[in-house]
Amino acid sequence: MRTGLAFGGIAAVLTFALALWAAPALAADKPLHIVALGDSLTAGLGLPLSEGFVPRLQAALAGKGPAAEVINAGVSGDTASDALARLDWSVPEGTDAVILEVGANDMLRGIKPQVTRAAIDTILQRLKERHIAVLLCGMRAAPNLGTDYAAAFESIYPELAAKYGIPLYPFFLDGVAADLGRLQRDGLHPNAAGVEVIVAAILPKVEQLMALVRDRRSS
């Protein structure tokens, strides 16, 4: 009888130990929930639903490590302050990571860079408090705004990325801006070919973001 109890006890301990060992692996393999928080560049303004940034990124991520679900939280016309105002409901509980792409409309409207900086800073602080990993996407200023504005605006992104220790994609429209073959008629938004360029260029940074999430889960 005592031997049977001993065996039962050992079996229970082994089962518990195996469960503890397996738990991090299972957590690491759970699908990642990524929110793309941004403006019309994220939303896919002017494009068929399947050709916007988020669905093309989702397709590019297929088969690359754990499954990832990318949610489109882009709203055309949004400034950084607008994104901050809707942060809580745009980034729901259970979000693992955020791709933050804001500031283009601030720049186009000539909003003071310190206002944009304060809004992005607050977004990053609140996401940090929620233990959500972030990839920050930078933006450049139009030349007609002058060198002083450009310097103040463009410094927002690398400085805040350094402050929070997060990955930075320096310019969301890299390889697309000013290339008429990759832009829609408005000269501002990427066409389908432009989106493919953006996705291919940003993909390594998104994979870096996903690796950060996996590291957190397994630690």
Catalytic: 40? Answer: yes
21 with 41, same domain: the answer is: no
As given in the structure block, the two tokens for residue 138 are 């930078």
Together in a domain, 14 and 39 = no
pLDDT in tens, 56-101: 999 999 977 678 999 999 999 999 999 999 999 999 999 999 999 9
**Which is catalytic among the residues 39, 81, 90, 189?**
189
- Do residue 60 and residue 9 come from a single domain? no
pTM of the model: 0.87
The count of structural domains within the chain is 2
Q: Quick check: 194 pLDDT over 60? A: yes
Domain match, 174 and 91 both: yes
39 is catalytic: no
pLDDT digit string, tens, across residues 110-129: 999 999 999 999 999 999 99
Is 131 a catalytic site residue?
no
Alpha helices by DSSP H, listed for 93-178, are 104-108, 113-129, 147-154, 156-164
Residue 145, CA distances (Å) to 81, 113, 148 in order: 20, 12, 8
Q: Are residues 103 and 191 in the same domain?
A: yes
**Average pLDDT of 196-202?**
98
Q: Which of 39, 40, 78, 106 is catalytic?
A: 40
The per-residue pLDDT for 190 is: 98
CATH number of the structural domain spanning residue 191: 3.40.50.1110
Statement to judge: residues 53 and 25 lie in one domain: no
pLDDT at 23: 43
Q: Return the minimum-mean-pLDDT range out of 41-45, 98-102, 128-132, 214-218.
A: 214-218
Q: Are residues 86 and 49 in the same domain?
A: yes
108 and 194 housed in the same domain: yes
Q: Across all residues in the chain, what is the average pLDDT?
A: 90
Do residue 3 and residue 67 come from a single domain?
A: no
Q: Domain range holding 117? A: 32-218
